[in-house]
Amino acid sequence: MGTHPHHGNHPNPMIGALTVLLVFQLVGEALARGLGLPIPGPVIGMGLMFAALVLRSGPSAELRGTATGILQHLSLLFIPAGTGVMLHFQRLADEWLPLTVALIASTLLSIAVSALLLRALSRHTPHGEDPQ
Amino acid sequence: MKPALGEIWVYLSTTPLLGLTLTLLAYQGALWLYRRANHHPLLNPVMVAVTVLVLVLTLTGTPYQTYFDGAQFVHFLLGPATVALAIPLYAQWERLKGMLLPLLVTLVAGSLTAALSAVGIAALLGASRESVMSMAPKSVTMPIAMGVAERLGGLPSLTAVLVMSTGILGAVGARYVYLLLRIEDHAVRGFAIGIASHGIGTARAFQVSEQAGAFAALAMGLNGLLTAAMLPWILPWLESLLH
């Protein structure tokens, strides 16, 4: 385990990609804490990763494969936290009305505002073509 | 053999193995049901799996913390998954550069509408401060939303529930908004649902068309970044104005 300076086997591509993701997350966490930024560490990691992809013109095949694999099962990762709803039954029973009204109204309103605005703006620059 | 079974249960219920296995089993079952039902939005796999797990934990009298000791290994992957969102985002980079300005203006307006209308309505109708702060990042993809809620002094696990509900609401309701407002362009439809209801809305958009899905994924990623950068500054400032 790290005591040997060289290794004969090819490193596992999935492990390599996972290491890259974890390193970016770690740097993101370190920056968030170190600079006292209010942005979550993994989000900074995502921004740094995006910048790295632009600089390197795209991810390696391994990184793309591993990322696609994780993101295909993104739903799975929400389950442990979602199950935490059982800690909030009392709160939900007490506040169901404001929470329900706010969720429904705000979700439909933000869809409407975004759609109307983007339609109006993209009429002036149809399909984003440069008018030259 | 009742005593033996009891002893096995006592042992298993204290190891992380049980919470981890239960999570994966519930997910597989929910995914199977979702596919069988032709991806019906009301059978969202997260919602079904969570319902099953809450029932099992409640019926067996297992505390959430005991369950989470095992499930945390799955939960941990939200961090690397957030970083991985940069990859599909990069895939849209060429298209994004082409219509940068309209997309960015819409993004800022839509993102602010999603957060501030939720916060405003919940607060006006008398929700507690913790609930209001948990509500603020409800339109953002869950790993980011939970991080933002924690920074704001909300409850990440409550945010998880609100994010999930928002996604399902958007996936079910968007088509009626588009009919009413006569929105036909799939790029516009996708971008709007991606801003308002993140990954669950994006999954729905991909069922409508490839173009709608790509714009939804782009909106989801950008709104995650923007909300994480914006809300932890804006909400405390708004609060200080009101008090």
Return the closest-CA partner of residue A105 out of B201, B228, B177, B180. Answer: B177
SS3 at position B11: helix
Instruction: Look at B232 and A7; give whichever has higher pLDDT.
Output: B232
**Nearest-by-Cβ selection for A99 from B117, B127, B173:** B127
Q: How many CB atoms lie within 10 A of CB B60?
A: 11
* Cα A41 from Cα B135, distance rounded (Å): 21
- For chain A, the domains span 8-80, 88-132
Return the closest-CA partner of residue B58 out of A75, A87, A79. Answer: A87
Please indicate if any CB of chain A lies within 8 Å of the CB of B75: yes
The answer to whether the CB of B197 falls within 8 A of the CB of B170 is yes
Q: Please give the ipTM for the structure prediction.
A: 0.81
The residue of chain A with its CA nearest to that of B83 is A46
Which residues of chain A are modeled with pLDDT < 50? Answer: 1-8, 126-132
Instruction: Look at B211 and B132; give whichever has higher pLDDT.
Output: B132
Tell me, what's the pLDDT at A60? Answer: 92
Residue type, B110: G
Tell me, what's the pLDDT at A11? Answer: 61
* Cα A92 from Cα B132, distance rounded (Å): 12
List, in order, residues 6 or more apart from B124 with CB less than 8 Å away.
A98
The residue of chain A with its CA nearest to that of B117 is A106
**Three-class SS of chain A:** CCCCCCCCCCCCHHHHHHHHHHHHHHHHHHHHHHHCCCCCHHHHHHHHHHHHHHHCCCCCHHHHHHHHHHHHCHHHHHHHHHHHHHHCHHHHHHHHHHHHHHHHHHHHHHHHHHHHHHHHHHHHCHHHCCCC
Reply yes or no on whether the pLDDT at B83 is more than 60: yes
Tell me, what's the pLDDT at B181? Answer: 96
Tell me, what's the pLDDT at A1? Answer: 40
SS3 at position B61: coil
Q: From the CA of A34, how many Å to the nearest CA of chain B?
A: 15
Tell me, what's the pLDDT at B3? Answer: 60
* Cα A44 from Cα A25, distance rounded (Å): 8
Containing B79, the helix (H) or strand (E) segment is helix B78-84
- In tens, the pLDDT along A39-73 reads 778 888 988 999 999 999 889 999 999 988 888 88
Please indicate if any CB of chain A lies within 8 Å of the CB of B54: yes
* Cα B9 from Cα B13, distance rounded (Å): 6
Reply yes or no on whether the pLDDT at B137 is more than 80: yes
Mutate to test the interface with B, among A63, A68, A99, A116 (most CBs of B within 10 A): A99
Token readout for B2 is 């009742």
Do A74 and B81 make contact, defined as CB atoms within 8 angstroms? yes
- In tens, the pLDDT along B27-44 reads 999 999 999 998 777 788
Question: Which residues, numbered 101 to 130 in chain B, qualify as contacts with chain A under a Cβ-Cβ cut-off of 8 Å?
Answer: 101-103, 105-106, 109-111, 113-114, 117-119, 121-128
Mutate to test the interface with B, among A118, A125, A129, A130 (most CBs of B within 10 A): A118
Do B147 and A58 make contact, defined as CB atoms within 8 angstroms? no
